[in-house]
């Protein structure tokens, strides 16, 4: 498994390769713009060139772009839906520009509408984006903890979404371990991990899983409360993560940590811990 972190783009994309190297990253995830707003500026060509060159020289791959938090293709309000679709199209382009293989998107929230109707809207939006932006970036839908009206806490939702997506080679899943656990999939036990993977394979298919977000959970299994925590220090635990990173169905995937960070020491500690769990 190749390990990495979500890396800040503060000060420009060109700063990312050095930051990634300092943390021992083999893979990285970034935002291409402000994650908490709708507005964006074009990516400066020189910054993009320095980023791509630095990443290539260091052998960091794959590169993953994460979409901002505001877009929601399940939103029933026409203007919000339009902005969300525009945002997806823009990030598909930006991901391609920086050489990213994957673009991660939160599935969305139904906002009180029925889930079947919300899922139809999500499918329509993704298909429209794929028509408008034709490139090789694979869109990865990230599972949720299931708070409120979130969609994507159960594998059944992914199955319904994927049935309507074309072309299917442009869509996949990013599984967040904390979100899975908080949604009720008990990754802390051998039986729970096997049950979760069996369910995913049956409903979605192993071929649709491209990326892991490796985060421990500060809240108990089934809490539906999204609280990332340090590897091995939460409710999934060291033994839980040892089984995850060494599992035959998962060990060839990239694993990106989004663990809490008060200082660089936190990232270095989490990297040391996760690497120490890999069977030699």
Please identify which of the residues 33, 170, 208, 213 carries the catalytic annotation: 213
Q: Where in the chain are the domains?
A: 2-276
> 142 an active-site residue?
yes
Contact 174, 142 (CB under 8 A): yes
Sequence-ordered alpha helix ranges (H) in the chain: 16-22, 45-58, 78-97, 115-132, 155-163, 177-182, 190-203, 237-246, 264-276
* Fold for the domain defined by 2-276: TIM Barrel (3.20.20)
> 176 an active-site residue?
yes
pLDDT tens digit sequence for 108-161: 999 999 999 999 999 999 999 999 999 999 999 999 999 999 999 999 999 999
Q: Is the pTM of this model over 0.85?
A: yes
Please identify which of the residues 6, 33, 94, 106 carries the catalytic annotation: 106
Please identify which of the residues 61, 120, 258, 266 carries the catalytic annotation: 258
pLDDT tens digit sequence for 58-110: 999 999 999 999 999 999 999 999 999 999 999 999 999 999 999 999 999 99
């Amino acid at each position: 498994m190749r390990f990495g972190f979500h890396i800040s783009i503060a000060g420009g994309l060109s700063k990312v390769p050095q930051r990634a190297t300092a943390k021992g990253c083999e893979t990285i995830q970034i935002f291409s713009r402000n994650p908490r707003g709708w507005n964006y500026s074009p990516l400066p060509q020189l910054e993009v060139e320095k980023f791509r060159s630095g990443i290539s020289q260091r052998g960091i791959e794959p590169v993953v772009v994460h979409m901002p938090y505001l877009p929601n293709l399940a939103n029933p309000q026409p203007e919000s839906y339009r902005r969300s679709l525009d945002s997806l199209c823009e990030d598909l382009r930006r991901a391609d520009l920086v050489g990213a293989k994957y673009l991660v998107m939160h599935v969305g929230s139904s906002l009180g509408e029925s889930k079947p109707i919300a899922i139809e809207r999500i499918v329509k939006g993704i298909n429209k984006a794929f028509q408008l932006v034709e490139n090789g970036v694979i869109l990865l839908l990230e599972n949720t903890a299931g708070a409120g009206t979130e969609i994507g806490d159960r594998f059944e939702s992914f199955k319904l979404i994927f049935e309507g997506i074309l072309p299917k080679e442009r869509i996949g899943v990013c599984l967040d371990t904390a979100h899975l656990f908080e949604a009720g999939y008990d990754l802390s036990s051998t039986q729970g991990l096997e049950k979760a993977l069996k369910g995913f394979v049956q409903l979605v298919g192993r071929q649709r899983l491209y990326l892991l977000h490796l985060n421990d959970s500060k809240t108990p299994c089934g809490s539906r409360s999204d609280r990332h925590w340090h590897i091995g220090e939460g409710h999934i635990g060291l033994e839980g993560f040892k089984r995850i990173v060494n599992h035959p169905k998962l060990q060839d995937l990239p694993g990106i940590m989004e663990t809490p960070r008060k200082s660089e020491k936190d990232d270095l500690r989490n990297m040391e811990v996760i690497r120490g769990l890999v069977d030699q």
